[in-house]
A and B are shown apart, each in its own frame.
Chain A
């Protein structure tokens, strides 16, 4: 399952964003931020504690099962009285959650997390970015490993000069995507795929902001 990978903002930044808003309602999420330990029940309670210590008043808190889901509206409605006593909502969900909540309510929303990437948990506490939704999938020619996402430079035609014994020049803890692609294609006897010249990429397949209306087929027609 794909996850929205987040990290907590430093407390100083959170306090700066809250500014003079003394009364705060805290919202977490039971899905991605719970798994990443950035905005689940435990983190929400820890944030409550920290805010109280700095003199804030926490009017209540809530951990929504899936903050980016439309059911979020119901959960919010049930907690309206405590929210109305606050001056702002401090939100420990990813940016999808913040924007979903913002769509249903007209309260000042303050994100307590930064959303890093859409990725996958590949080991305990270890998350990796898997897709940047570029709109032009070339996985069929790269052994199922995405260079647009996994190569720091998003290179399409093979490794740069910074490839370093299977690692990337920017971080020895990061793999060189093109070494992984090479090894995979070699194993499959498909290195010819790597020899194919990939022409300049279309970065405007779906110009930002993404918005697509699909024609839905009517059932029975």
Chain B
């Protein structure tokens, strides 16, 4: 059985988490395959929640599948699709099914997704959702009513170290800390100098930071991300490196870059760990881990399987 994430975060060992994207539909065979492949290679697995506002199989369903297969799930919860009644109810349900970790997100905007005319909810924001979790833990719901049975979650949130302007982002980061976030997954980072500067700041807070590593699969993707995705900066040197990869080898180069960053973060002890997102390419996560020298549960690859 997997260890509880909160314990791993407190152990001081290098934490590795990854992410599973649920299917568009009810066929969970591919997601189950990804879970089986990754559950013993990372400390915990996130399941995205209608990521990019695209309707999919729910995060809660994916988190239960991970739990049933002996993995450690991190339930992603966005505030876009549910009001405070639904969010709290889902938290109660998640706890009753053994889910102990929640990542609180605002959620992408409805118009960027595949149901562009849907009503946006955003009854709560990510800070208020964190606060709601701590309120439920105190035995009360947000309406001040007593709840039966306890709930307890290791609650996390996200932060975007490359946001511009940065200061408002950091102010929100601090609010999330105050509202009870124990760990943070960062938006994808690629510029190590910028990330070092961010950690000089964030390292002062009593929270664990997991650096977001998003697999680059081509120079075109890297260029698109840096030009279009808010809060992501890919240095030109990385784009060039991908562009110079031999034909058909860009993905391999992307894996190498991701592994290099994971290794550097670990060796420098820059932050508590990494969160690896290989959006749609979950099957290459083991390769990234192996190339980074990360073996089972943070042991060196050479130690694993021997």
Contact = CB atoms under 8 A, between A and B. Distances in A.
Interface of A: 152-166, 168-171, 178-179, 181-182, 191, 194-195, 197-201, 203
Given A153-B122, A161-B160, A182 B167 contact: yes
Given A158-B169, A163-B163, 5 more contacts: A160-B106, A179-B168, A194-B171, A197-B127, A200-B131
Contacts of A161: 105-106, 158, 160, 163, 187, 230-231
Given A153-B109, A197-B175, A163 B123 contact: no
Contacts of B84: 200
B112 A156 contact: no
Interface string B130-171: 011000000000100000000000000010100111011101
A155 B125 contact: yes
Interface of B: 80, 84, 105-109, 111-112, 120, 122-128, 131-132, 142, 158, 160, 163-165, 167-169, 171-172, 174-175, 178-179, 187, 230-231
Nearest to A157: B127
B125 A163 contact: no
Contacts of A179: 165, 168
With most chain A CB atoms within 10 A of its CB, the pick from B120, B123, B167, B231 is B231
A195 B142 CA distance: 22
14 contacts: A152-B120, A153-B125, A155-B106, A156-B125, A157-B175, A158-B171, A159-B169, A161-B160, A161-B163, A164-B231, A178-B168, A199-B131, A200-B142, A203-B123
A154 B125 CA distance: 9
Contacts of B128: 156-157, 198-200
Contact of A197 (B120, B123, B179): B179
A166 B106 CA distance: 18
B123 A159 contact: no
Contact of B174 (A153, A195, A199): A195
Given A156-B125, A200-B124, A200-B128, A162 B230 contact: yes
B110 to A, nearest CB: 8
B28 to A, nearest CB: 28
Given A159-B168, A200-B84, A169 B230 contact: yes
Contacts of B174: 195
B132 to A, nearest CB: 7
A163 B187 CA distance: 12
Given A153-B125, A155-B122, A195 B112 contact: no
A28 B105 CA distance: 46
6 shortest A-B CB distances, which residue pairs?
Answer: A158-B172, A164-B230, A160-B106, A182-B168, A157-B127, A153-B122
Given A159-B168, A195-B171, A200 B123 contact: yes
